[in-house]
Each structure stands twice: as C-alpha cells, then as structure tokens.
Structure 1
Amino acid sequence: MAACGLRGEITNLNSKFDDLSTKFDDFIYKGSDDRDFIKQSFVDAVSDLKKEMSSCVKELKSDTVDCNKSIRRVETSTDDHQAIYINKKKYILVKFNSTLIRDNIMDEYFKTIKTQPLMASDFVTDQKIPSSLLKKRVFLNEHYSPMAGKLNALCLKLRQNKIISKYKLINAEKPFAILTLPDNMIIERDAVCSQLP
C-alpha cells in the first residue's frame, strides 16, 4: 500500500512539474515580446539622450567660442578639449588642449576687466535666455595643474616668510614663477623646488 501511495505522490509531483514547466515556457515566449519592447525603449531612450547631449555640447562650444571672441579674437574651435556645465548649470567648465590659448585668454581677460567688465550679453545670443541673465557679469577663473598649484603654494610660503617680496606665476606647459626678491632683484624659477631661493 505504501508503494502505491508513493507512486501516486510521484505522479502528482511529475504532473505539477509538467504544469510549472508549461507555465514557465508560456512566460518565456510571452515575455519575449515584452522584453523586445523594453529593449527597444532603452535603445530609443539612449538615442534621445545622445542627441540631447550632442546638442548641449554644440551649444556650450558655441557659447565658449563667442565668449573667447569677445575677450580676444582667438580662434578656439579646435582648441577646446571639453566644455561642460557644472554646479547645477551655474558654471561652465572649459578645458583647453593648449595652455598657450588659455594663457592668452586669461591675460586678455584680466586686462579687459580693469576697464570694462565682461557681461553675458557680450557673447550669448540665444533669444531664449532672459534679459536679467544677460545683464550678469561673467567671471573667468583659472585652475592650476597639480604642479602649478604646488609652485603657487611654495611661492606663497616664500612671500609669507619674507624671502621674496612678490611673485608672478606663469601657468604654462611647464609652470614657472617670476620672483622679486626684497632687494628688487628679479629671478625666474621653474617648478623644481630645489631651484627656488
């Protein structure tokens, strides 16, 4: 009697297994259409995102070129390496392939702002931007490379310790500093720390 009950249980389990297998196969075949739809939705979303990013990059490059032209007539269309919004689109970060171009723009900017502040309306021509934003001032900040940052920190310490009276940091491919000693002698040193006074 026990063997008959066991056979019945095995038959019952086999029946449940076949039932589950059929349901699983139905789910796989039915889900195939759903997966294709989801996959196509992802492909479309990625395509739309790429188009939007491409459009934003073109706008940023255009704004950067216009800004640079208003500061100095420097052709930068091939010299900007990267242009992105940062800090919730409050700022634009522009990286250049050439430090010479960057240095020229920064030099001209600092000469220009003494006589006339740079305004957004000087280089932004988009009609969608509110006029209140066009009246805002534009500020350019230069960020030092790690080597130039260390040289700047070292020069600050030298000035605080009154070893030098002033300095000017030239942030080029190989940064260097023009140091004015307390006796008004001017020397030029690069980022090799052992050469500094």
Structure 2
Amino acid sequence: MSSSQDPYQPGPTGSLPQQLPPPPEQPAPFGPAGGTGAEWAGPSKLPGELRGERPRPRSRRRLWIILGSIGAVLLLVVLGVVILVNVVGGAASQAKGLADDFTKKVIAGDTSAAYDDYLDPALQEQLSKEAFMSGVRSLGMDGSCRPAYNDVKVATDNGMKSAEVAGQIACTGKNVDLAYRFEGKDRLLMTSIKLRPAS
C-alpha cells in the first residue's frame, strides 16, 4: 500500500517517526545563572511608534518665538538710539550752523543783516539795532577773527526747541567770548546774546 501518511503518524515498522523542528532558543535572563531576572526586551517603544523609526525631534517653535521677540526688542532699542542721536545731533548741528552764520555776519561787519535775520522780535524790543551795531563795532573784530564753539546744548519741551551755544572768537591780539540762546518751534531765533572781550 502506498498511501501518504500523516507526518505525525508512526511509519511502517522499522522506520523512525518524523519529528517537529526544535523551538527557537529563548534569550538568557540577565540575572545570575538559574535565578530570575528581567528578560531582555529591546529598546522601549512609544505607543504608535513602529520598529526601526527614529523618534520625531521636539518642536523648537517656542525657542524661535522667544529668540524672535528678543531680536525685535533689540532692534527697536537700536532704532530708538539711532533716531535719538540723529534728532539730537541734527538739532545741535542746526544750532551750531545758526551760530556760525550769525557770527560770520557780525565779523564781516554785516551787523544790520545779522540783527534782522537772527534776532527774535522779543529781543529786538529789548535791544535796538543801533545799540547792537554800536556794541559789535566796539569789539574791534576784523577778518583775522575765527569762531570756535566749545559748548552746544539742545532741548525740546512741548514742541518748543531751544539751543545754547557758547565759545570764543579768536582774533589777532584778542579774544571775544560769545554765548547765544536760540528758541522756536519751526525756526530758531536768537533770544539772548552775549559778546564781550575775553578776560
């Protein structure tokens, strides 16, 4: 008879029974030989994580928001300083320019134009043009005179600008001290003047 036999059925007499393959070996425990210990289970996985996948990097959005905020604040501070320097520097430069133009007219003997163009009407009421021209002539300034400004202060209060300029006019054989004050909203005009021989 040549019927196929079930592999687990004993065969004809004299033949060896077929055997199942041996079960796979289990890894040895970590504990001492023969003792109970935790079995090796591989790296722990988060729920939903597939084998062989790397964990996703943590989001750095919060860090970028903080760094961006700090950068924005620093940028505003720098812009504020630049604007302040330009405004103050611009006002100081304007005041020095007015003082220089006025002084050059006075040195050149163009005192009438200096009086009309630079003195505030309130100062003109206190100081007549004749008195002003006479005072400047008494200083004896000539073409050798050169102004130098060593102190320029500017300020703004409720839209009213003010500037104080002090220095000296150096002439051959003598020096003249000067001190001017300018005030105004749109245009600065001289509200105070001192020109006198240096002591």
TM over 0.5: no
More helix by share: 1
More strand by share: 2
Q: TM-score range by the shorter chain?
A: 0.3 to 0.5
| Structure showing greater relative contact order (alpha-carbon pairs closer than 8 Å, 6 or more residues apart) | 2
- TM-score (structure 2 length as normaliser): 0.34
Greater Rg over alpha carbons, structure: 2
- TM-score (structure 1 length as normaliser): 0.35
